[in-house]
Amino acid sequence: MSRTVHCVVLGAEAEGLDRPPYPGALGQRIYDNVSKLAWQRWLAHQTMLINEYRLSPIEPKARQFLEREMEKFFFGEGSEKPPEFQPE
């Protein structure tokens, strides 16, 4: 049986993640409070950020930026799209 969480993004009970998706305290917090669906939404948003800002995830500054945006996406005011972003 899959576990459920009260998802902070969806504001409702939903299927939880199978394991922490990120290391450390932030990963545990996401595991405890974020659903699989919300995590998939973050992955799509993160891909857009990487593409629009031309980030290289191996660079420490890019990883720090993405971690801050992840925390805002789930637990803050939300991660904004880049001002120039035009969806296809």
Q: What is the pLDDT along the chain (88 residues), one digit of tens a residue?
A: 589 999 999 999 999 999 999 999 999 999 999 999 999 999 999 999 999 999 998 999 999 999 999 999 999 887 777 666 666 6
Contact call for residues 2 and 16 (beta carbons, < 8 A): yes
State whether residue 14 is helix, strand or coil.
Answer: strand
Dihedral angle sign, alpha carbons of residues 88, 74, 40, 13: negative
Quick one: pLDDT at residue 4? 96
**How confident is the prediction for the chain on average, in pLDDT?**
91
Contact call for residues 31 and 17 (beta carbons, < 8 A): yes
Contact call for residues 50 and 2 (beta carbons, < 8 A): no
Quick one: pLDDT at residue 38? 97
Domains present along the chain, CATH in parentheses = 4-75 (1.10.3880.10)
Q: What is the pLDDT of residues 43-63, one digit of tens each?
A: 999 999 999 999 998 999 999
pTM: 0.86
d(CA 68, CA 76): 10
